[in-house]
Amino acid sequence: MNSNIYFVSLGCPKNLVDSQVMLGLLKNENFQIVDKPENAQVIVVNTCSFIESAKQESIDTILEMASYKDSAQCKTLVMAGCLAQRYSKDLQKEIPEVDFFIGTGEYHRIAELVKESQNTRRICRSIHRMCRRQSGTQIRQNTKLPERIYINKPAFIHTEAHPRLQTGDFFSAYLKISEGCNRCCSFCIIPKLRGHTRSRTVESLVEETKSLAQKGVKELNIVAQDLTEYGMEYRYQDMTLEKLLPALCKVDGIEWIRLFYAYPDQFSNELIEIMASEPKIVKYLDMPIQHTNDRILKLMNRKFTRAQIFTFVEKLRKKMPNIFLRTSTIAGFPTETKSEHEDFLEDLKTLKFNHVGVFTYSKEEGTKAAEIANKEGMVPLQTRLSRQRQIQKIHKANSLDQNRKLLNQTLTVLVEGPHPDTPLLLKGRHYGQAPEIDGQVLINDGNAPIGSFVNVRISETMPYDVVGCII
């Protein structure tokens, strides 16, 4: 029997899929997955380094897990993911408690490397005993320390043949259709950490979806760094979203298909038609625009303009009047002026996104935006925070206004279970609410099994959540 393993997954849904594949690989090698770090001989942290706050969270988590090497059973601490890919050499010196680092292109070797680390530890203990018995200085000198860094140029992407251990809600899962990104936005380090776009075949994705459906998954959340780049390395001949989505819709058991991270410049009219006509594809789209000012968009190396954003949103709402739109924004990008920010606020009032993620600009070394910031200067932190609050205020008003339109409507809701604050409420989500990042439907009357779909009449609305009863 192999060791007990405790796993921590940080960052985005794409990282979560990587974690689930690693867990599947470890379980296949008879490692036991435990839910408490104090019970683990091996602890793995899959890290994120997208922005400064994510890096700090990753470091804090690693240091927290390192404490179990002194206070509990932990013998092997592993750092995986983007932070390991980016800073492994520095971190090897700064955090010697980490036994090895595994990057985004090597994570499929996790079971092999954990075993190797454990074997090395046993060998080192044996050598240490021999050295004490023989006073063998020569033995110590000839003992080569094992490699601690496993970082290669990202090339790996998992397929349906790789085991994957579903974590979290059994009824909802992410399907990662490609890895990497070609957009090279000036503020983003991801292409350097995860490489260029590498797409999976339609057949592979359909097979994995069938497997997920057999395990009880009803909601399929399709993710990639950029959905609209899917298949581009094959010149969109055999692999396109227009071919993939209808194929996924045919999988029995899957009832909701949700799209994450698409861009207006490559989202075809045919794709809009498919999205509008396929009942299983929920009318929801995450399109992270970041800004609407053309000068700022150009500095960000975005491939679309303000006009394209407005035209795309208009097309979507014309075909799907009830579509829910989510976006992400950056407040205080280098050289952003007060008037450019104010124009952006006015555009957000007009566009009326249902959900908005608001981030202050974070300078990431190795990016073009960091060069701009070094040359032109950063927007002061207090100004960035103030602009962030202004965007959040507009979003709150927009969200409340949009939610009020749902009053007295009956919506299909996916039941997630009892509300964590009170057993008197159930919580769930309607089609316009993605897992974890959007609001919830609070069910104050009626009962239903976890993972079931029910009809809920909305009786009360708030800025982010709505309330209703099962009918």
Mean pLDDT across the chain, nearest whole number? 91
| Residue of 402, 404, 414, 420 lying closest to 441 (CA atoms) | 414
Shared-domain flag, residues 95 and 77:
yes
Residue 431, domain member (yes or no): yes
pLDDT on residue 38 = 93
Does one domain contain both 395 and 453?
no
Return the ∠ at Cα 13 (arms to 9 and 19), rounded to 5°.
Answer: 40
The residue with tokens 């407040």 is 331
Using one digit for the tens of pLDDT, what is the confidence trace for 54-97? 899 999 999 999 999 888 889 999 999 999 999 988 898 899 99
Same domain for 143 and 230?
A: no
Shared domain check, 371 and 309: yes
More confident residue, 201 or 130: 201
In a domain, 92, yes or no: yes
Q: Is 157 inside a domain boundary?
A: no
Q: Over 90: is that where the pLDDT of 347 sits? A: yes
pLDDT in tens, 269-301: 999 999 999 999 999 999 999 999 999 999 999
Q: Residue 119 has what pLDDT?
A: 72
**Together in a domain, 179 and 139:** no
> Of 13-22, 102-111, 381-390, where does the model show the most confidence?
381-390
> What pLDDT shows up at residue 140?
43
pLDDT at 431: 96
Q: Does residue 438 share a domain with residue 303?
A: no
Query: Are 178 and 216 found together in one domain?
Result: yes
At residue 358, the pLDDT reads 95
pLDDT for the residue 50: 82
Residue where a domain terminates, one of 117, 150, 183: 150
**Band of pLDDT at residue 120, cut at 50, 70 and 90:** low
Can you say whether the dihedral through the CA atoms of 203, 205, 208, 213 is positive or negative?
negative
Helix ranges (H only) for 300-441 are 306-319, 338-351, 368-376, 381-404
Asked if the model's pLDDT at residue 225 lies above 50, the reply is: yes
- The pair of three-digit structure tokens given for residue 295, joined into one six-digit string: 């000068």
Kindly write down the DSSP assignment for every residue of 9-66, as one continuous string.
Answer: E-S-HHHHHHHHHHHHHHHHTTPEE-S-GGG-SEEEEEE--SSHHHHHHHHHHHHHHH
316, part of any domain: yes
Flag whether pLDDT at 138 surpasses 90: no
Task: For residues 248 and 442, give the distance between their C-alpha atoms in angstroms, rounded to a whole number.
Answer: 30
Confidence of residue 154 (pLDDT cuts 50, 70, 90): confident
Q: In this predicted model, what pLDDT tens digit does every residue of 160-177 receive, in sequence order?
A: 999 999 998 999 999 999
The pLDDT of residue 141 is 43
163 assigned to some structural domain: no
Q: Which domain holds residue 418?
A: 410-470
Amino acid identity of 463? P
First-residue to last-residue Cα distance in the chain: 50
Check which CATH number belongs to the domain holding 456 and give it. 2.40.50.140
The side-by-side arrangement of strands in the sheet containing 149-150 is 32-33, 4-9, 42-47, 76-81, 100-102, 149-150
Rounded to 5 degrees, what are φ and ψ at 375? -85, -45
10 Å CB burial of residue 95 (0-12, 13-18, 19+) is: middle
Model confidence band, residue 134 (pLDDT cutoffs 50, 70, 90): low
47 and 90 both lie in a single domain: yes
CB 329 within 8 A of CB 289: yes
Domain final residue, candidates 357, 374, 404: 404
**Cβ-contact 438, 355 below 8 angstroms:** yes
Q: Are 152 and 199 in contact (CB under 8 A)?
A: no
Tell me the three state secondary structure of residue 75: coil
CA distance 74 to 85: 23
On whether both 100 and 243 belong to a single domain, the answer is no
CA distance 385 to 345: 14
Distance CA 163, CA 104 (A): 17
**How far is Cα 82 from Cα 299, in angstroms, rounded to an integer?**
25
Q: What is the pLDDT of residue 137?
A: 47
Q: Is residue 159 part of a domain?
A: no
Average pLDDT over residues 355-376: 94
Cβ neighbours, 10 Å, residue 400: 13
322 and 392 in one domain? yes
Task: Find the mean pLDDT for residues 120-137.
Answer: 51
- pLDDT score for 124: 52
Q: Is position 167 within any domain?
A: no
Quick one: pLDDT band at residue 121, thresholds 50, 70, 90?
A: low
Domain match, 142 and 251 both: no
Give the sign of the dihedral formed by CA 123, CA 125, CA 126, CA 127: positive
The pLDDT tens digits of the residues spanning 457-468 come to 999 999 999 999
Number of Cβ atoms within 10 Å of the Cβ of 434: 22
State whether residue 286 is helix, strand or coil: strand
How many domains in the chain?
3
φ, ψ (nearest 5 deg) of residue 325: -120, 130
Token pair in block for residue 437: 């990042």
Q: Do 392 and 449 lie in a common domain?
A: no
Among residues 360, 385, 404, the one where a domain terminates is 404
pLDDT in tens, 367-403: 999 999 999 999 999 999 999 999 999 999 999 999 9
Radius of gyration of the chain (CA): 24
Q: Which of 192, 262, 185 is nearest to 224 (CA)?
A: 262
The answer as to whether 165 is a domain residue is no
